[in-house]
């Protein structure tokens, strides 16, 4: 296809900027992502990493739910309740934009943990956690490390009942919605490249730290 001379510079500029953007994401900041079954330990792991890594920022998927009365929500069949366990219940484009803004240094979100003992020269860290973040390909594609945390049904149910939700779960919501949606989300990631499955009932920090050290993360001997 012939490219008009008037468009040639613009097309080359677009390609050049795209290539630079990819390099910027992977070189200047190391995004980490962890997803998994509800109450599988995602937030706990993310918080521990944020305390140890410097400098770091954290994005929590729960902060991107649409308001309860949003037309984006889908009602659960047979239940007078929104389905909060599908990706369409969340403003994922906004979450992606926030992640990219952090990567590009254009975000108002401040980098945390400037006193953490683990660092990598020339790198910052972005930690993304949530229950369907890996099912959103634009986020999946920008991350260096990707973890999916799993639990057995009974343990997941026990942890779920020990937490308070707003709005609260209605009878049957876990059995009819939460667990089946988790099963579908995990199945869709069966062949996802670079995805590591971890047992959410165990201490996951040593495994993740070992992976980070393989990327050049080390401990500040002065700390």
Query: Could you give the residue numbers annotated as active site?
Result: 62
**Separation of alpha carbons 97 and 53, rounded Å:** 23
Q: State the angle between helix axes of 42-52 and 205-214 in degrees (0 to 180), rounded to the nearest 10.
A: 50
Over the range 112-131, which residues count as b (16 or more CB within 10 Å of their CB) and which as e?
A: bbeebebbbeebbbbbbbbb
Distances (CA, A) of 91 to 5, 12, 61, 169: 40, 32, 9, 21
User: What is the arrangement of strands in the sheet containing 195-199, beginning at the earlier edge strand?
Assistant: 56-60, 124-130, 29-36, 145-150, 195-199
**Separation of alpha carbons 182 and 48, rounded Å:** 24
**Separation of alpha carbons 194 and 222, rounded Å:** 33
Q: Which are the contacts of 115, defined by CB distance < 8 A and separation ≥ 6? A: 54, 223
**Separation of alpha carbons 128 and 143, rounded Å:** 9
Contact between 132 and 185 under an 8 Å Cβ cutoff? The reply is yes
**Separation of alpha carbons 177 and 22, rounded Å:** 37
């Amino acid at each position: 296809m012939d490219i008009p001379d008037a468009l040639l510079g613009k097309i080359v500029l677009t390609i050049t900027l795209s290539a630079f953007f990819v390099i910027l994401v992977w070189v200047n900041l190391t995004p980490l992502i962890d997803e998994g079954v509800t109450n599988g330990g995602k937030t706990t792991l993310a918080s521990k990493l944020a305390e140890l890594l410097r400098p770091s920022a954290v994005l929590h998927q729960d902060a991107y739910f649409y308001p309860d009365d949003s037309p984006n929500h889908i009602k659960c069949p047979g239940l007078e309740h929104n389905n909060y366990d599908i990706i369409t219940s969340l403003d994922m484009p906004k979450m992606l934009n926030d992640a990219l803004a952090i990567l590009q240094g254009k975000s108002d979100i401040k980098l945390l943990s400037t006193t953490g003992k683990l660092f990598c020269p020339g790198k910052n860290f972005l930690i993304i956690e949530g229950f369907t973040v890996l099912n959103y390909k634009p986020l999946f594609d920008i991350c260096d490390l990707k973890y999916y945390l799993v639990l057995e049904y009974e343990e997941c149910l026990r942890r779920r009942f020990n937490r308070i939700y707003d709005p609260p779960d209605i009878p049957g919501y876990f059995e009819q919605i939460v667990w089946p949606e988790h099963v579908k989300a995990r199945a869709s990631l069966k062949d996802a490249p670079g995805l590591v499955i971890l047992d959410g009932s165990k201490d996951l920090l040593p495994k993740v730290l070992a992976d980070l050290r393989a990327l050049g993360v080390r401990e500040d001997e002065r700390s």
